[in-house]
Amino acid sequence: EIVLTQSPDTLSLSPGERATLSCRASQSVSSTYLAWYQQKPGQAPRLLIYGASTRATGIPDRFSGSGSGTDFTLSISRLEPDDFAVYYCQQYDGSKYTFGQGTKLEIK
């Protein structure tokens, strides 16, 4: 099983700053099968990024994804109050989907 480890667990930033969230895989992941989701309290996750770097429909260009192999990054430029949430990375290895444990992005 491929284990995804996200860092940091919690990131405290102010609106207007840039956020950089990391997702590290226990073994190589095809970029095609790496996605990022945003989840706010009491809500379902929302797809942000798929294929490691492609924004989903309606996602602003402040969100960007990058990386390959075992290291992937979600960046959010110019944080807005609505961006403070928990972010999960997800991978598919051909037989099973797994998620990272999540990074909580909180207002400093």
Residues in contact with other proteins, counted by CB under 8 A, come to a total of 25
Partners of 43 in the β-ladder: none
Window of 9-17, 19-27, 64-72, 100-108 that interacts with other proteins by CB under 8 A: 100-108
Which of 12/32 has CB closer to other proteins?
Answer: 32
H or E stretch including 64?
strand 63-76
Partners of 86 in the β-ladder: 39, 104
Q: How far is residue 60's CA from residue 51's CA, in Å, rounded to a whole number?
A: 16
Q: How far is residue 22's CA from residue 72's CA, in Å, rounded to a whole number?
A: 6
Window of 11-19, 59-67, 75-83, 90-98 that interacts with other proteins by CB under 8 A: 90-98
Contact map string, positions 27 to 66, toward other proteins, x by CB under 8 A: -----xx-x-x-----xxxxx--xx--x-xx---------
